[in-house]
């Protein structure tokens, strides 16, 4: 399908759903402005994204979600702008509510074949510690599918397990490279539990294992990302006028493998350092129309076996959620971050800001 025709189809889908007369869907849009200044670098890296999201219950047990997020990024007078890939995701729950089947397609509407100046910006956006909303504009056709099974052990405890597979198609990453890049596919296995500690305090725990197949250039295996294990502990405590929630996340990856001219061999030292994150959020309901939002974040990325790659960031923010009408909400949040870490063989400090202004329509 022609890319422009594909974009038109997505716009028609979004528009058709947004004007549907069924009052059960949600349409969200807004703007996110992010900027990070790095010590000893004259120019900051900044990005503005314009997320669009539609959530639509096709039937009682079938839900559809569409996401698209065009953006513009800038660094040192160079600009990377355009559409993102468009995601269409769906879930189907069986009649017993214990089995959930998920499916999705990432349409390649995003920008690929970057110029050299755009590749520099793309590298900066991909630094995980900064958490840019759109680290990659386009990455080819993507398909995924999965199944999740959940079981209620008691009134307080529920357990679940799932399996998913992600297929990633070929695409060209640069205008200077004629060979198509074929990113590896991904297989994920997850286990989880949800436990009601008290009537006001609910906790959850998740364990996720991700395996990656080889990335290829010209059908030759060039790189294999190490398998990743992610653990997450979370909870939510309900107040009389709102709630407080938290999430503790720990990620670790095995050694990568690289092509040595003859075969793939594991790195001598693991270049993937462990990552630790903590997110805390609170909502205080002030009235039927207004809620205040508070957040705090800690990101601590440890050095790898080669003693490189460490970074620490601390931040937080405030905001509000305003119910203008029964169908329209306006949300605004502002966050400020400070930290330091290893970057370009130096140890500079980081200063980041994030402003989000969004609207939500109940259809």
How confident is the prediction for the chain on average, in pLDDT? 92
Residue 128's pLDDT band, with cuts at 50, 70 and 90, is very high
Task: Give the pLDDT confidence score for residue 24 in this predicted structure.
Answer: 75
Give the up-direction half-sphere exposure of residue 282: CA atoms within 13 A in the CB hemisphere: 12
Instruction: For residue 90, name the pLDDT band (cuts at 50, 70, 90).
Output: very high
| Token reading at 250 | 């720990």
Q: Give residue 263's pLDDT.
A: 87
Report the alpha-carbon distance of residue 351 to residue 39 in Å, rounded. Answer: 8
User: Does residue 16 carry a pLDDT above 80?
Assistant: no
Is pLDDT at 23 greater than 80 in this prediction? no
- Give whole-number Cα distances, 60 to 63, 165, 330, in Å: 8, 25, 27
pLDDT given at position 292: 98
Average pLDDT over residues 17-46: 82
Question: 182: pLDDT confidence band, cut at 50, 70 and 90?
Answer: very high
Q: Return the pLDDT at 112.
A: 92
Q: How confident is the model at residue 273 (pLDDT cuts 50, 70, 90)?
A: very high
d(CA 239, CA 212): 42
Cα(166)–Cα(103) distance, integer angstroms: 10
HEC profile of 152-187:
ECCCCEEEEEEEEEEEECCECCECCCCCCEECCCEE
pLDDT at 313: 98
pLDDT band at 14 (very low <50, low <70, confident <90, very high): very low
Q: Taking the domains of the chain in order of start, what are their residue ranges? A: 3-362
Q: Does domain 3-362 have CATH number 2.40.160?
A: yes
At residue 19, the pLDDT reads 39
Chain-centroid distance of CA 241 in Å reads 29
| Nearest alpha-carbon partner for 76 in 117, 43, 41 | 43
Contacts of 154 by beta carbon, 8 Å cutoff, 6+ apart: none
pLDDT (tens digit, 9 = 90+) per residue, 47-61?
A: 999 999 999 999 889
* pLDDT band of 260, cuts 50, 70, 90: confident
> What does the pLDDT read at residue 97?
78
pLDDT of residue 229: 98
User: In the structure encoding, which two tokens stand for residue 275, read together?
Assistant: 């990552």
Q: Is the pLDDT of residue 80 over 60?
A: yes
Under the banding of pLDDT at 50, 70 and 90, the label for residue 1 is: very low
Give pLDDT, residue 261. Answer: 81
Average pLDDT over residues 87-99: 90
Tens digits of residue pLDDT in 198-235: 999 999 999 999 999 999 988 889 999 999 999 999 99
> Which stretch of 11-20, 22-31, 130-139 has the lowest confidence by average pLDDT?
11-20
Q: DSSP assignment of 206-237, as one string?
A: EEEEEEE--EEETTEEEEEPPPEEEEEEEEEE
Task: Please report which confidence band the pLDDT of residue 12 belongs to, taking 50, 70 and 90 as the band edges.
Answer: very low
pLDDT digits (tens, 9 = 90+) for 151-178: 999 999 999 999 999 999 999 988 888 8
* pLDDT over threshold 70, residue 311: yes
């Amino acid at each position: 399908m022609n890319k422009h025709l594909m974009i038109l189809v997505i716009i028609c889908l979004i528009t058709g759903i947004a004007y549907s007369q069924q009052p059960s869907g949600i349409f969200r849009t807004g703007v996110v402005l992010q900027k990070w200044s790095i010590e000893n670098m004259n120019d900051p890296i900044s990005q503005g994204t314009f997320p669009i999201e539609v959530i639509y219950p096709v039937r009682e047990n079938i839900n559809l979600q569409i996401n698209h997020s065009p953006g513009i990024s800038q660094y040192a007078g160079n600009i990377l702008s355009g559409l993102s890939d468009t995601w269409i995701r769906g879930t189907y729950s069986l009649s017993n509510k214990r089995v959930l089947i998920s499916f999705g397609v990432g349409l390649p509407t995003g920008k690929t074949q970057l110029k050299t100046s755009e590749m520099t910006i793309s590298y900066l956006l991909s630094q995980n510690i900064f958490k840019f909303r759109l680290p990659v504009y386009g990455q080819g056709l993507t398909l995924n599918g999965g199944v999740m099974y959940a079981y209620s052990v008691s009134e307080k405890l529920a357990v679940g397990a799932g399996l998913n597979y992600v297929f990633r198609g070929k695409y060209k990453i640069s205008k200077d490279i004629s060979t198509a890049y074929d990113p590896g596919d991904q297989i994920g296995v997850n286990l989880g539990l949800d436990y009601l500690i008290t009537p006001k305090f609910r906790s959850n725990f998740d364990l996720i294992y991700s395996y990656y197949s080889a990335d290829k250039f010209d059908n030759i295996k060039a790189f294999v990302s190490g398998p990743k294990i992610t653990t997450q502990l979370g909870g939510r405590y309900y107040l009389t006028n709102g709630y407080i929630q938290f999430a503790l996340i720990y990620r670790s990856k095995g050694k990568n493998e690289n092509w040595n001219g003859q075969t793939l061999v594991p790195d001598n030292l693991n270049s993937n350092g462990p990552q630790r994150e903590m997110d805390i959020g609170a909502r205080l309901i002030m009235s039927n129309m207004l809620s205040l939002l508070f957040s705090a974040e800690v990101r601590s990325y440890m050095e790898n076996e080669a003693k490189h790659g460490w970074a620490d960031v601390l931040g937080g923010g405030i905001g509000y959620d305003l119910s203008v009408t029964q169908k329209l909400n306006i949300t605004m949040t502002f966050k400020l971050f400070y930290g330091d870490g290893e970057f370009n063989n130096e140890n500079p400090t980081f200063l980041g800001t994030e402003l989000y202004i969004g609207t939500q329509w109940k259809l």
